[in-house]
Amino acid sequence: MDSTLWLPTAYEHIAKCTSNGNQVSHYLSLAQLLPAAVQLFVSLLVGPLAAMAGSLKWPACFLLLCSAVGNFIYSLAAPGGINNVWAIVGARCLLGLASGSASLAMAYLTVSTASHQRIEAMSLFRTFGGIVMVLGPLLSIPLTRVHFDVGHSAFKVDGTNAPTFLAAFTSLIIASLVAILLKDKSKPAHNAFVPLIGFFSSKDGRWKMPCLILGLMLVSAYLSANVLFLLSELLAHRWHIGITLASGIQAIVFALSLLASIGCGRMRQFIVDYTQKRNAASGSDAAEKGKLGHQAAAKLHAETVLTQASQVISVIAVFLTIMSVSFKAGSAATAVVFAIACTLAMMGYNIQAASLPSLFSQSLPADVRASLVPWYAATVAAGKLAAPPVTETIGNSNGHGWAASQSVPLASGLGAIVVLGLASKRLVGVCMDHSGK
């Protein structure tokens, strides 16, 4: 929820803390860039460090508390409080640190589920993640109406900081529930880095498929991060849309993408059933012993097909986004095209986010699974890290016709298309070879 709750009000919240309105895009970019860098660093290390500590529960509690503190500081950064734009940037960095809790949640699921249940568990995890992403802007809509003074001070709780005050309180409650209800599933592993070294130095190429899947998610995360950041930037700055309406637009975008994620689950089951019926008709599963193997292969095939479909959707979204930001600003038609492009991009991301984590965890050996699953979140952070420079470039463009600054998102979009196509073709071959063994 942290990733979407603050976005509808971010532009105006930062604008209140800056004397120069032209710097808002710059500070918004920093508030997106630096937390992504922190998330990347944390996600790379949190798995091995948690394994060495022998606990997934208490590191997750600590990171959730960081989320509560970060949201609280972010809310106090307005005039009358801290009144410093760097407090906003610092608070967002704390939230980047807190994002490691999602990595630990994925690791917890990985070590708590059997291999034949892991795909469903990961998909369910991502579906609930999509639901929470929708809740962010939905909660912002009524909270934009909040407005009251705190005591006799000049500090005000209004539509720009009320959502993050709620997020701070929510994180505190979740941290308490995790501390009380969750049971640890890990045992101390003081040599957690040793299996990692052996995995990446193996001569049988076991590392190729996981790295390929991470490459796919890197591109997908990059596209979705641009959508998240551009929604906040362009709706306020380019099309001059108010907070309440912007929150509604974002809620619709995330809700439609959530429907794609739910539909992805239905489509997955349809593909699995169809594949199993085809195998049964050909007599390939005559032996009872081989049924589980064929079922696993069918699930793997379903995830691969869904990944390809999501990439086609992402390619269309890239072209529509480029069109909407490359022509005259303020036009209602370009705003509609932009909203459609954002919806398609988030649909593609949610479909991949529902399928790639399970493919990634299934491709890892058991001895490194808990340590490497958080690297999936690190890849998402790397995608977010690449997005803010593009956001700032578009935000600083004059918005009248085809400006030179538009070459950056254009080149990035075309590069993403090429990577998506090549990686998708390779993934299909690797998955089919893997399922045939």
pLDDT in tens, 224-241: 777 777 776 667 667 777
DSSP state of 396: T
Cβ–Cβ < 8 Å for 6, 91: no
Cβ–Cβ < 8 Å for 154, 83: no
Cβ–Cβ < 8 Å for 406, 36: no
Round to whole Å and give the CA distance between 342 and 362.
Answer: 30
Half-sphere exposure of 430 toward its Cβ, with a 13 Å CA cutoff?
21
pLDDT recorded at residue 172: 93
Rounded to 5 degrees, what are φ and ψ at 38? -65, -45
pLDDT at 150 over 60: yes
pLDDT category at 398 given cuts 50, 70, 90 is: very low
Residue labelled with tokens 């529509």: 320
* Strands (E) located in 134-274: 148-149, 156-157
More confident: 296 or 246: 246
Cβ–Cβ < 8 Å for 388, 92: no
pLDDT recorded at residue 404: 41
The size of the chain, in residues, is 437
* 270 Cβ contact partners less than 8 Å away, ≥ 6 residues apart: none
Q: What is the pLDDT of residues 265-279, one digit of tens each?
A: 778 778 877 777 777
Round to whole Å and give the CA distance between 150 and 402.
Answer: 47
More confident: 350 or 38: 38
* 197 Cβ contact partners less than 8 Å away, ≥ 6 residues apart: none
Closest CA to 353 of 123, 40, 131: 123
pLDDT at 298 over 90: no
pLDDT recorded at residue 255: 81
More confident: 415 or 143: 143
pLDDT category at 72 given cuts 50, 70, 90 is: very high
Segment 314-328 mean pLDDT: 73
Closest CA to 129 of 277, 2, 27, 272: 2
pLDDT at 289 over 60: no
pLDDT category at 405 given cuts 50, 70, 90 is: very low
Rounded alpha-carbon distances, angstroms, from residue 145 to 88, 369, 419: 22, 46, 44
Segment 407-414 mean pLDDT: 54
Cβ–Cβ < 8 Å for 125, 110: no
pTM of the model: 0.70
pLDDT recorded at residue 104: 81
Round to whole Å and give the CA distance between 356 and 354.
Answer: 6
Segment 2-12 mean pLDDT: 76
pLDDT recorded at residue 394: 58
As a whole-number percent, the residues of the chain with pLDDT over 90 amount to: 5
End-to-end CA distance of the chain: 40
Look up the CATH architecture of domain 2-181+205-436. Answer: Up-down Bundle (1.20)
Rounded alpha-carbon distances, angstroms, from residue 239 to 246, 331, 392: 10, 8, 16
- Of these ranges, 64-68, 78-82, 187-191, 342-346, the one predicted with the greatest mean pLDDT is 64-68
Segment 320-344 mean pLDDT: 76
DSSP state of 80: T
Q: What is the pLDDT of residues 210-226, one digit of tens each?
A: 877 787 778 778 777 77
Cβ–Cβ < 8 Å for 371, 192: yes
Residue labelled with tokens 């193996």: 202
DSSP state of 205: -
Cβ–Cβ < 8 Å for 383, 225: yes
Cα three-residue angle 194-198-203, rounded to 5 degrees:
175
- Of these ranges, 38-52, 85-99, 172-186, 260-274, the one predicted with the greatest mean pLDDT is 85-99
Round to whole Å and give the CA distance between 378 and 371.
Answer: 12
pLDDT at 185 over 70: no
Amino acid of residue 235:
L
Alpha helix stretches (DSSP H) within 182-242: 193-200, 208-237
